[in-house]
Amino acid sequence: MTENTAHRFREFKMPDVGEGLTEAEILKWYVQVGDTVTDGQVVCEVETAKAAVELPIPYDGTVHELRFPEGTTVDVGQVIISVDVVPGGAASGEAPAATPAAAPRTEAPAAPEPEEEAAPKGRQPVLVGYGVAETSTRRRPRKAPAAGGTAPASAPPVAQVPEQAAAAAVQGELNGHGTPPPGEFPAAPVARPLAKPPVRKLAKDLGVDLTEVTPTGPDGIITRDDIRAAVAPAEAPAPAAAAAEPGPEPVSAGGPAVAAAGARETRIPVKGVRKATAAAMVGSAFTAPHVTEFITFDITRTMKLVDELKADPELAGVRVNPLLMIARAVLVAVKRNPGINASWDEAAQEIVQKHYVNLGIAAATPRGLIVPNIKDAQAKTLPELAAALGELVSVARDGKTTPAAMQGGTLTITNVGVFGVDTGTPILNPGESAILAVGAIKLRPWVHKGKVRPRQVTTLGLSFDHRLVDGELGSRFLADVAAVLERPKRLITWV
């Protein structure tokens, strides 16, 4: 292959999309072999131990090979896609292929001979480690091998036509793939369904094959409603399939675990965000000595304030809810009890007190629990805090939270009340000093001004690291949060 041809294919490796992460799972390919790509175009979505991230390609050209199928976990630094950066223009220094006259084909074709691949016609230096070779300007379409025949080298995990398979064989030789296994040949390409990335993600989460969905959107685009419509009829045949082979059914992490009828077990692979969360929670539970305290109080005045703020014309467009007021109360309590906002330095055996608050908000997503945080929350006004909180939640639900958004948290709020739970004993986010669980706000009988009346009541649960926070400090902090929410005018008087 000439130097011109050697420079034709550019390889894109799995980057370190987090901080020191060593692997990522390929969730979805947005391109297929033969597609044209441009610099900066998103070609795939991967999931690390912290978040789902879309990867842009840094080249212009045509997709030559996808090295791994969807669902594969790939180490950082491995090549995941190669791009032909000079599509149709790398043959300038190549000669036509030649087949030796003394080797007529009288039986099933064997492995391609070097003479059949290319007839060298002059050599030039190429990139170190790739050797020197020359490809043909014209290749005959490979026929499907008979029994005992061989297939093109390094058959990619996606469909290729014969011409693309021949090019893949050359690229496989460049990458040291060697001789391919016998009896394999790629199928004809299938038209790629049209759907936007969020719709493709929904289809993956629900286990829907886009090629089997009937599109109803403009220009044949598949919509969310099309995906949901495809799920309903797909649930009916499940019992029939299960009857043939009852037993454990593996499902992919992040997707719904739908057990077949008659199955006694369902196995869910733990990987990505869920795997990282499990490891972090085990490490936190057995490293930081947890203490949990609870307080139940009347939050009626804060709920009335929320309604008043929603009706205020000056706050039009601002998302006001109880979680916003609780976050503000936490920030006021941190200001009154700064020792609660700290971390433990194991190497130096020191307590590191933080003079900023990166307020984490635990969010349940289809891929597991994540805790993005609002940077420098203590410096934000109420509208700014509301905007940051709304963006954080919406991005997390869409699965687009970046690893940077989850780094550097100082303390966390987890709202278990949205599930109707009264309270809980939350486990600390690793590296943080405290986590506050917010229970459901319910109408309950409560003694108010000497009489039993129906009032809005809730329970808060605070877990803290006893190496950093002693019982007195933890109790004062929790009591201050409840006091602000019980009488929200303290949002002004205590600042």
CB 95 within 8 A of CB 136: yes
* Model pLDDT, residue 252: 41
CA 118 to CA 460: how far, in whole Å? 74
Every domain range in the chain assigned CATH 2.40.50.100: 1-192
Helix (H) or strand (E) segment spanning residue 443: strand 442-448
Ranges of residues in the chain whose predicted pLDDT is under 70: 1-7, 17-21, 49-50, 88-191, 231-261, 270-288
Every domain range in the chain assigned CATH 4.10.320.10: 194-238
CA 344 to CA 410: how far, in whole Å? 11
CA 490 to CA 495: how far, in whole Å? 8
Fold of 194-238: Dihydrolipoamide Transferase (4.10.320)
Pairing mode of beta strands 368-370, 363-365: antiparallel
* Tokens matching residue 336: 């009154």
CATH number for the domain whose boundaries are 1-192:
2.40.50.100
Every domain range in the chain assigned CATH 3.30.559.10: 275-493
* Model pLDDT, residue 352: 92
Distances (CA, A) of 98 to 53, 103, 131, 270, 400: 47, 11, 21, 52, 52
* Model pLDDT, residue 50: 64
Pairing mode of beta strands 359-361, 373-374: antiparallel
* Model pLDDT, residue 174: 39
* Model pLDDT, residue 194: 82
Q: Can 466 be counted among the known catalytic residues?
A: yes
CA 388 to CA 375: how far, in whole Å? 9
CATH number for the domain whose boundaries are 275-493:
3.30.559.10
* Residue 277: DSSP 8-state: H
Q: Is the dihedral of CA 89, 93, 95, 97 positive or negative?
A: negative
Which residues 6+ apart lie within 8 Å of 71 measured at CB?
A: 25, 26, 27, 252
Q: Is the dihedral of CA 155, 156, 157, 158 positive or negative?
A: negative
Which residues 6+ apart lie within 8 Å of 149 measured at CB?
A: 108, 109, 110, 182, 183
CA 389 to CA 95: how far, in whole Å? 63
> Which residues make beta-bridge pairs with 368?
365
* Model pLDDT, residue 276: 63
* Model pLDDT, residue 405: 87
* Model pLDDT, residue 457: 97
Residue 353 C-alpha from the chain's centroid: 32
CB 208 within 8 A of CB 222: no
* Model pLDDT, residue 416: 92
CB 33 within 8 A of CB 66: yes
